[in-house]
Structure 1
Amino acid sequence: PLHYDRSDRVQGGFFYNNVRYRDAHGRLFFGGANGLNIIEPNHIEYNPFPAQVSLKSVRVFDEVLSTLDSAGYAQGMVQLKHHQNTLSFEFTSLHFAAPEKNQFAYRLVGYDDEWIFTDASRRYANYTNLPPDEYQFEVKASNNDGVWGTPQAISFLITPPWWQTPWAMLSYVIFTAVVLMLFRQFIVMRSDYFNNLKLERVKRENLENLNRAKLEFFTNVSHEFRTPLTLIAGPLQALMEIGEGSKSVKQHLMTIHQ
């Protein structure tokens, strides 16, 4: 659809609903508070020329980056530090037929999901606190009849801080693996230590039980032998006192008594 405003010499204010007419030649008549407007559709010239867009400046915070040539084209990849993550892009159109009707669309590839549209009154885009990554800012413009031109682009890389670099991440992994290995070794050594203590305690208890059993055994055996020997000692003493028998018999009695 075509849109007309005061820049096309259409009267301001409002039009009356009932004051409209189309004649036999296709001309359209509209009456309003400020007069009459006549539109001849057959004589409307369509603008087929796409609008060219140019980047005027790229700012990091308030500092202008000298990465654009005189025509507004980017000169290679722009590399920024992790704290240079607030950027502003200013752009304009090189199409001067009714420039107030130029439209713009921009997006930050890697950040924006869709194109963001704006008009000639707002020809800039701001981004704050961008995370470290590789981005491409693209902007395009349309002429007064909505014909879009080729997008202009600038690529830039926000590098991560040293503690987020691949080497730092690798060192974190290695450090964590070493800590886990040492912790596992500590757990194994601690378990072996307590197992050895338990084993020594069991051995000591077994030895004490064995000694106690031996003592009880010999005590019982001694008691069992002591009772018969006591019964024998009396008659043996009597035989020795009587003194009967040969000398060899007496010798044997003395041996038994001992």
Structure 2
Amino acid sequence: MDRDGRRGLKLLQKKDSTFKTFTIANGFPSNTINAIAEDNKGVLWLGTNQGMVRFDPETERYQLFGMSAGVQGLQFNRQASGRLASGELLFGGNNGFNLFHPDSLKQLNLQVPLVWVDFQIFNKPVPIGRENSPLQARLNQSQTITLDYKQSVFSIEYAALNYTAPEEIQYKYRLKGFTDESWQNAGATRKVTYTNLPPKRYVFEVTTAADGRVAVPTRTLTIVITPPWWHTWWARIVFLLSATSLLTILYYSRVRRIKYQNKRLEKQVTERTLQLQKANASLQEMNGLIQEQKEEIQSQAQELEARVEIRTADLKKTNEELDNFVYRVSHDIRAPLSSILGLVTLIELEQDPTQLQLYLQMINKSIHKLDGFVKDILDYSRNSRVSMNREEINFQELVENVHAELVYMENAPRLQILKEFTINYPHFNDARRLHIIFRNLFSNAVKYQNLHCERSFLHIHIQTDKHCATIIVKDNGIGIDTWQQEKVFDMFYRGSQLSNSSGLGLYIVKETIEKLNGSIQLQSELGVGTTFIIKLPNLPLKEE
């Protein structure tokens, strides 16, 4: 049954793994199943709102037990059922509970006769034997009842005799000749009414089916509703002949007038048509040429306009980016150069060796900063203009080489590098561009360590499969604030004015990954650390 127990019983068919549904529509006693239990023979016992139902899944036969069978009531409570170790079944309802052994209940004897109880027209009993009465003999002795078309609303009452449990019997009926000739489940109702039936011959059939199968011979009653005289066959013939004659007279009269008018107009139409055809042909030819030229001009104009707009926007964007790039590059180069020039001037005036050593260290630091900035500029330039160079990537060797380059950076020795490689499939890509990506990410991890943390680490996990490589770079550095995370991939973006970075590192990383048709995802929390998740497609060797 379904979750709410309101849509009948569903039986799984083993042969094709489909469900067969038993509802009131196909003769089942009730759509509402509140409780269900299975006895030792695999027979299902159902607590419904019409009483208790015994259902055999093998034969698909069912039997309804009502008040006369000792059921506590017609309504059973939801999920109030169970089977005891003795094989007895327990069901609870609104008026108590039933405890019984399935083998102690006898099958119903359904071999009972059906009789007609009453026949009514417009809810009034039909008298027997009176003049013009449809019943000239007793109802159970009549095989056919003939009704006038004005008597098209009638009711038939029936019953099964000598049945010890009348509330458990189920009835089915149908009316042959009606729009729907299928069997209708009446439940325990013993009366059916038909209204405004069209005149014709009908056969009413009724049977009992307490377990969903026909148990006794069907009882039939033929009902003939006669049409009014104007719907009889001879009246229709007369009407048809009269209408045909009138239409024929009108038709030929109209044809004669139309022929006369057509002869007058035909000549005029022919002459005028020839003139119009000639003029129309010329106009169509000219219009076609004009339309083609117009569409071609419009298409060219739209295409040129779109090209101009795109080119203008591209040029404007390029000029803006170039102006910004030149300004930022010149500013970032000029700052360390100015610092070096100033320190050189101080060295020329300074005599103290200790102070001279300090100035030289400061110059060295500025030169390294300038060198890193120049490297970033070169990486940016090469990424945009150098073609792709595919080769099989040795990730372990690549990571080791990058690590070796950065080992002498300030605070690099206190950063522990953890490496994990899961190479399930050879990966082909541009090794030079991957080197740029790793160098910038590792360099950031060194620069932005949390110096208050006792153990700083950088964890690199690389995993490959047939389609892509997944690279996860995670550190426990100072992290990136939420409002800054959308900007860190912008060109020349620095988290603060005090930052020593060029502002190009993560921008170059993003541009390089996009050049490789990959993606990068940032996860960071201020004071906790940062994680970069990179996915790069496998680019196997092929002819360019």
TM (normalized to structure 1)? Answer: 0.61
* Aligned mates of 1:164, 1:139 — CA distance in 2: 30
Secondary structure, counterpart of 1:178 in structure 2: helix
Deviation at 1:51, TM superposition (A): 3.2
Deviations 1:201-242 (A, max 9, x none): xxxxxxxxxxxxxxxxxxxxxxxxxxxxxxxxxxxxxxxxxx
Deviations 1:25-60 (A, max 9, x none): x33345678766431222221124333221111112
Q: Does residue 22 of structure 1 match 2:84?
A: yes
1:105-124 equivalences under 5 Å are: 105-111=172-178, 112-120=180-188, 122-124=189-191
Counterpart contact for 1:138–1:151, Cα < 8 Å: yes
Counterpart contact for 2:171–2:210, Cα < 8 Å: no
Counterpart contact for 1:107–1:139, Cα < 8 Å: yes
Deviations 1:114-144 (A, max 9, x none): 2222233x31111111111111111112358
Q: Does residue 101 of structure 1 match 2:142?
A: no
2:140 maps to amino acid: Y
Deviation at 1:149, TM superposition (A): 1.8
| CA 1:155–1:9: 2 relative to 1, 3 Å | same
| CA 1:134–1:36: 2 relative to 1, 3 Å | closer
Secondary structure, counterpart of 1:73 in structure 2: helix
Secondary structure, counterpart of 2:68 in structure 1: helix
* Aligned mates of 1:133, 1:19 — CA distance in 2: 52
- 2:237 is matched with 170
Worse-matched range after superposition: 36-45 or 26-35: 26-35
Deviation at 1:167, TM superposition (A): 0.8
Counterpart contact for 1:14–1:32, Cα < 8 Å: yes
| CA 1:181–1:6: 2 relative to 1, 3 Å | closer
What are the ranges of 5 or more consecutive residues in structure 2 without an aligned counterpart? 1-54, 56-62, 129-134, 265-544
Match 1:52 to one of 92, 104, 113: 113
1:24-103 equivalences under 5 Å are: 24=86, 26-30=87-91, 37-61=98-122, 62-64=124-126, 66=128, 67=135, 72-103=139-170
Larger Rg: 1
* Aligned mates of 1:180, 1:31 — CA distance in 2: 77
Q: Does residue 7 of structure 1 match 2:92?
A: no
Counterpart contact for 1:101–1:144, Cα < 8 Å: no
- 2:193 is matched with 126
- 1:230 is matched with none
Counterpart contact for 1:103–1:142, Cα < 8 Å: yes
* Aligned mates of 2:244, 2:94 — CA distance in 1: 82
Counterpart contact for 1:16–1:33, Cα < 8 Å: no
2:149 maps to amino acid: H
Deviation at 1:7, TM superposition (A): 2.8
Worse-matched range after superposition: 93-102 or 83-92: 93-102
* Aligned mates of 2:247, 2:220 — CA distance in 1: 48
TM (normalized to structure 2)? Answer: 0.31
Q: How many pairs does the alignment contain?
A: 193
Identity %: 30
Counterpart contact for 1:52–1:140, Cα < 8 Å: no
1:99 maps to amino acid: P
Counterpart contact for 1:47–1:145, Cα < 8 Å: no
- 1:153 is matched with 220
Counterpart contact for 2:207–2:219, Cα < 8 Å: yes
| CA 1:63–1:73: 2 relative to 1, 3 Å | closer
- 2:330 is matched with none
Deviations 1:127-181 (A, max 9, x none): 1111111111111123589763222111121111111111111112211221122
- 2:331 is matched with none
Secondary structure, counterpart of 1:186 in structure 2: helix
* Aligned mates of 2:183, 2:194 — CA distance in 1: 14
Counterpart contact for 1:77–1:154, Cα < 8 Å: yes
CA RMSD of aligned residues (A): 3.4
Higher relative contact order, chain-length normalized (CA < 8 Å, sep 6+): 1
| CA 1:146–1:96: 2 relative to 1, 3 Å | farther
1:133-148 equivalences under 5 Å are: 133-143=200-210, 148=215
